[in-house]
Amino acid sequence: MVRAFAVLATIALGASVALAQQDPIKERKELMKNNADQAKIGAAMVKGEEPFDLAKAQKIFAAFENTATKAPALFPDNSIDQATADDPYSAKPEIWQNMDDFKARLAKFGSDAKAAAFGNIGKNDCGGCHDKYRLKS
């Protein structure tokens, strides 16, 4: 009985992983929304609007590193967005035309997150990539 339960649990876990991988647009948009939420927290700490909190800062940079690691796989050729004007997380088709540049930008984002370089992340990494590759809503 325990063995059957373990097998069923493994199958269910595999199915949930497979389902998550079937919607790269949803997954990448969730990553980017989380980045935006974390960036707001970081910006408030940098501006002195919120007290510095080491645990929150570590969470911010961990989220950024996670995105830098996962995002390159979430832009397969068959996932070119059907962008909508009311969706602030829609990607421009230029990503797929300049994939090497996009992946290099994500790698730099990951390096800056690992180095805890918040100023570089906001201005250069997020801003530069969004200007070039995110559809303006």
Res 50: pLDDT = 96
Q: Which domain holds residue 114?
A: 24-133
Is 117 inside a domain boundary? yes
Is 113 inside a domain boundary? yes
Separation CA 74–CA 37 (nearest Å)? 20
Is 125 inside a domain boundary? yes
Query: Is 24 within 8 Å of 79 (Cβ atoms)?
Result: yes
Is 11 inside a domain boundary? no
- CATH at residue 83: 1.20.120.10
pLDDT band at 80 (very low <50, low <70, confident <90, very high): confident
Res 11: pLDDT = 64
Separation CA 89–CA 31 (nearest Å)? 10
Is 52 inside a domain boundary? yes
The pTM (predicted TM-score) of the whole model is: 0.78
Is 72 inside a domain boundary? yes
Is 17 inside a domain boundary? no
Please write the tens of the pLDDT for every residue from 25-74. 899 999 999 999 999 999 999 999 999 999 999 999 999 999 999 999 99
Res 68: pLDDT = 97
Total structural domains within the chain? 1
Is 13 inside a domain boundary? no
